[in-house]
Structure 1
Amino acid sequence: MATPNYSTLVASVRKTFNSGKTKSVEWRRKQIQNVIQLIEDKKDEICQVVKKDMRKSEFEAILNEVTLTKNEGYYALNNLDSWVKPEKVKKDLLNMSNDCFIKREPYGVVLIVSPWNYPVQLALAPLIGALAAGNCVIIKPSEMTEATAEFLERTIPQYLDQDCIKVVTGGVPEISSLLKERFDYIFYTGNTMVGKIMMKAAAENLTPVTLELGGKSPVYIDSNCDFDVAAKRILWGKFVNAGQSCIAPDYILCTEEVQARFLDSMKRAIQQFFEEKNPKQSDYYCRIVNIRHFHRLKKMLNGAQIALGGATDEQDLFIEPTVLVDVKPGDAVMQEEIFGPILPIITVNGVEEALEMINEGEKPLALYVFSHDKKLAKRILDCTSSGSACINDVMVQFGLNTLPFGGVGHSGMGGYHGKHSFETFSHRRSCLMKALNMESVNGLRYPPYTERKKNFINWVIGGKGKKSSGPPFIPFLILGVLLAVVFKFGLHTQVMTCFEK
């Protein structure tokens, strides 16, 4: 089957955008409401398709695919009016009578390429931000979650403006063809390797991008810690969605003493999670997305020292929640983001060695610290860099709409959620509006350049690097009042004539 030519599709969407249809707040609000309605109406079907694709439990589907996405929509609706208002900026004396502001405008035609691990949420949550900003959108869901991709392709046109929002399905040939088209913004969630391809394609047209990637997110466990609580929180983050989360804890750093105690806590936590049953029989435990990823993960177990778990079933795409010990930085499991239910522990002498290890690698998408010692936690934050950080919990920073979610370095660029999504998909347009009068003042910039003009301009705008001994606004307030009086009573011509002499 021939790969479609997407030039006509993109051109039609761009024509719609150029008509101005998407710029009204009413249109934006209606589309976001319709996204929420889609999720409400189809929540049972959402649970069904993600179960078909990944054996995701109903609880995880409702929480991660339905509720978080709806919350993103409601947050945008509740704040949209304030987001779209022009942002007033501080003015200097020369611009006191001018209207100076930042106007947020949509970029135009946005491409959203979403991943397979949270296939509904990571398609619709960025869509909400793009719609809030007034863009037209083309969505490319992952072909690896086929049932969900078909669901999005079928239902989105039923609820959203078909002239402005399109869904394109397919695999590598389709996305490769799509990337040849010119977009005004590209938003990609996925791995670093494909992220580089996206950025290279965007560079051809100088298209701005947001890349939500991943990396090896470390967890440092301090001896001053509640191990039972830490174990439950870390293992929840590691084993939800079978570890297929970009901000899941990737590996643990701790001392040998902490490791010995923490293994007992993890064993108890796993028993509690699965009610002392085999996780394979549990309705709560997800499966690996496909056979390729299964083999990739199973290869990481070759020769590894398994402390907990380790069972696999290729036919069922099942990998048991697994903890590895005696792991070295050069081991296979440490060479790439795991993205599965395997948790390695690397022992270190203390926080100094842990910091050294973290900083020797690429900057992670998330960093986690478990300790009662706030000074220690702050020190780790000060001495490292990551897309996000969370102390004494994992992954929950993702759910707070007021925090931007994104990476740094190899873990990505840009951020979204809440207002940060609106900002991501908006161009900040600088605007200055002035009247066609007051030429006696504006004329200071025109030739001929006299000494008096120069002295006056220096007096008005110069000396800003000097530290004032008193409140700096007082002299400018007085000067502003005097100038207002001068112009109100038509004395500006006489005043400026004095400076010309």
Structure 2
Amino acid sequence: MIAEIGHSAFHSIINNQAAYFKSGATLSYQFRLDQLKRLKQVIRNNEQAIFDALNKDLNKHEFESYSTEVGVVYEELNFAIKNLKSWMKPERQSTPFALFPSSSYIHKDPLGCVLIIAPWNYPFQLLINPLIGAIAGGNCTVLKPSELAPATAEIVEKIITEVFDPAYVATIQGDGAQVIPEIMNSHRFDLVFFTGSIPVGYAIAEIAAKKLTPVILELGGKSPCIVDKDVDLHNAAKRIVWGKFTNAGQTCVAPDYLMVHNSRKKELIELIKKYTNEFYTETPSSGDYGRIINKRRFTTLKNYLEQGNIIFGGQTTEEELYIAPTLMENVSIDAPLMTDEIFGPILPVYGFDSYKETLALINKNANPLAFYLFTSNKETEQFYINKVSFGGGCINNTLIHLGNPHLPFGGVGNSGIGYYHGKFSFDAFTRMKAVLKTQTWFDSGIQYAPFKEKIKLLRMFLRY
């Protein structure tokens, strides 16, 4: 917390990072590559401590911690290490003949000193993955872990302190509502990268605008899941259960509500119940199923259970921050359960007969971060891709589009600004610098005065 480390200490960190960046130390390929490799090694050395912290904060099983946090980070690190050299090379571009004899290039410049703010739901992955992009891009970085996942914040600080000089990468702890505004108001970062809720995203964008600070906002929204009548329901049910109830539903791209064709609705509901019980047992075990992050979120989610009919689950235990995987029907589309991002293990279910009905419901909460469609009809697939504005999504699956580093991850409209993952992370933390180089062995002279009789020649080159 700034109050704990002192204002002068915080400003010293920022000033030292600015000086370190200006020294040019972060610019070379070898430096960036070495830092990525060091980060990978220190994570490997601290794997068990990371697993223990995630279990303490969110009751994550080691399998889930590896598959959705540590393993995802390794994938990003390996991808960046393998491709960094090619990403850094200037990109040659075509040049109009009128500019002969010239050649054109795009260079990728580091932004400078950046701030990365992480959420609590995937507190390791969603802090370290952007950091990979910042390192690959040649930047200095201030990291703000979520105070709501304190065990993970502690191990992250330990890792970062162990491997990096704070003049290069530093960690700031404390209450985000106090620390972040003070950080941003007292210093202009060259980029603020935030993952979290839409209201906080608005507040960060407002502060950033005062200093013309660019932002990348990875927010959320209500991600729909549609199941058409022509699908393998067993397959759909398993993937919906996994996508919705991983991390106890505390996933920004989890299916937020389910729309299923009325002719298959009853059957799908029964299969979702079946596979939920198979995956987690009828009383989800303490080891395989997560818990709600804190009592405030628990209370919010518990209140949602009163806004419709519970048709499966609904059990709660406040002492354990436990809410069972839950299906609900007859939820008003104007209820908070259907206007807020749920961010928990509650899935409202609606039936439909026509695609028009599904679009009407989606448009009530437009621009979702994710969109999921189960269908075997290519025309139906194309219909929704064309009609729905969403950040990213899957056909006949959930969540796994995040696992492909060749695909950008980010929102649209209310669900976010900007995108990252793989090369898109490198692009997010660099800026394109245009350079045109002209040879000196020839000069047409057409651009110089006097212009008499030159207009005809100019029109030959710049045709309308």
What TM-score do you get using the length of structure 2 for normalisation? 0.96
Q: Does 1:267 align with 2:267?
A: no
Of 67-76 and 169-178, the range deviating more from structure 2? 169-178
The one of 189, 212, 217 equivalent to 2:218 is 212
The number of equivalent residue pairs is 458
Q: Which amino acid aligns with 2:372?
A: Y
Q: Does 1:458 align with 2:459?
A: yes
What is the rounded CA distance, in whole Å, between the counterparts of 1:53 and 1:389 in structure 2?
Answer: 28
**How does 1:264-343 map onto structure 2 within 5 Å?**
264-274=270-280, 276-279=281-284, 281-343=285-347
SS of alignment partner, residue 212 of structure 2: coil
What is the rounded CA distance, in whole Å, between the counterparts of 2:74 and 2:283 in structure 1?
Answer: 33
- Once the two structures are TM-superposed, the CA of residue 2 in structure 1 deviates from its matched residue by 7.0
- Once the two structures are TM-superposed, the CA of residue 217 in structure 1 deviates from its matched residue by 0.1
Q: 1:353-375, CA deviations, whole angstroms, 9 ceiling, x for partnerless residues?
A: 10122123221000010111121
Q: Does 1:229 align with 2:235?
A: yes
Mapped contact 1:31–1:161 kept (Cα < 8 A): no
Mapped contact 1:306–1:322 kept (Cα < 8 A): yes
Q: Does 1:114 align with 2:115?
A: no
Partner of 2:449 in structure 1?
Answer: 447
SS of alignment partner, residue 319 of structure 2: coil
Mapped contact 1:65–1:121 kept (Cα < 8 A): yes
**Bigger CA radius of gyration:** 1
SS of alignment partner, residue 290 of structure 2: coil
Of 58-67 and 73-82, the range deviating more from structure 2? 58-67
What is the rounded CA distance, in whole Å, between the counterparts of 1:232 and 1:400 in structure 2?
Answer: 21
SS of alignment partner, residue 99 of structure 1: strand
SS of alignment partner, residue 26 of structure 2: helix
SS of alignment partner, residue 430 of structure 1: strand
Q: Which amino acid aligns with 1:461?
A: L
Partner of 1:44 in structure 2?
Answer: 48
What is the rounded CA distance, in whole Å, between the counterparts of 1:229 and 1:437 in structure 2?
Answer: 67
- Once the two structures are TM-superposed, the CA of residue 8 in structure 1 deviates from its matched residue by 2.7
- Once the two structures are TM-superposed, the CA of residue 257 in structure 1 deviates from its matched residue by 3.0
What is the rounded CA distance, in whole Å, between the counterparts of 2:234 and 2:117 in structure 1?
Answer: 39
Mapped contact 2:366–2:389 kept (Cα < 8 A): no
SS of alignment partner, residue 339 of structure 1: coil
What is the rounded CA distance, in whole Å, between the counterparts of 1:393 and 1:132 in structure 2?
Answer: 31
SS of alignment partner, residue 49 of structure 1: helix
Q: 1:426-476, CA deviations, whole angstroms, 9 ceiling, x for partnerless residues?
A: 10001112244534x1x21122211x211111112214xxxxxxxxxxxxx
What is the rounded CA distance, in whole Å, between the counterparts of 1:278 and 1:164 in structure 2?
Answer: 47
What is the rounded CA distance, in whole Å, between the counterparts of 2:336 and 2:142 in structure 1?
Answer: 38
What is the rounded CA distance, in whole Å, between the counterparts of 2:389 and 2:426 in structure 1?
Answer: 25
Q: Which amino acid aligns with 1:229?
A: N
Q: 1:239-288, CA deviations, whole angstroms, 9 ceiling, x for partnerless residues?
A: 000000000000011233322111111111112102x4411x34100000
The one of 342, 347, 354 equivalent to 1:350 is 354
Of 170-179 and 380-389, the range deviating more from structure 2? 170-179
The one of 60, 64, 72 equivalent to 1:60 is 64
What is the rounded CA distance, in whole Å, between the counterparts of 1:133 and 1:2 in structure 2?
Answer: 27
**Structure 2 segments unaligned to the other structure (5+ residues):** none
Q: Percent identity?
A: 38
What TM-score do you get using the length of structure 1 for normalisation? 0.89
What is the rounded CA distance, in whole Å, between the counterparts of 2:97 and 2:159 in structure 1?
Answer: 55
Mapped contact 1:363–1:385 kept (Cα < 8 A): yes
- Once the two structures are TM-superposed, the CA of residue 156 in structure 1 deviates from its matched residue by 0.6
What is the rounded CA distance, in whole Å, between the counterparts of 1:238 and 1:263 in structure 2?
Answer: 14
Q: Does 1:173 align with 2:173?
A: no
Q: Which amino acid aligns with 1:456?
A: L
Q: 1:20-60, CA deviations, whole angstroms, 9 ceiling, x for partnerless residues?
A: 11001111001111111121111111100011111111110
What is the rounded CA distance, in whole Å, between the counterparts of 1:95 and 1:27 in structure 2?
Answer: 36
Q: Which amino acid aligns with 1:242?
A: A
- Aligned-residue RMSD, C-alpha: 1.3
Mapped contact 1:328–1:346 kept (Cα < 8 A): no
Distance 1:201 1:303, change over 3 A: closer
- Once the two structures are TM-superposed, the CA of residue 305 in structure 1 deviates from its matched residue by 0.3
Q: Does 1:426 align with 2:430?
A: yes
Q: Which amino acid aligns with 1:459?
A: M
What is the rounded CA distance, in whole Å, between the counterparts of 2:308 and 2:408 in structure 1?
Answer: 37
SS of alignment partner, residue 265 of structure 2: helix
SS of alignment partner, residue 109 of structure 2: strand
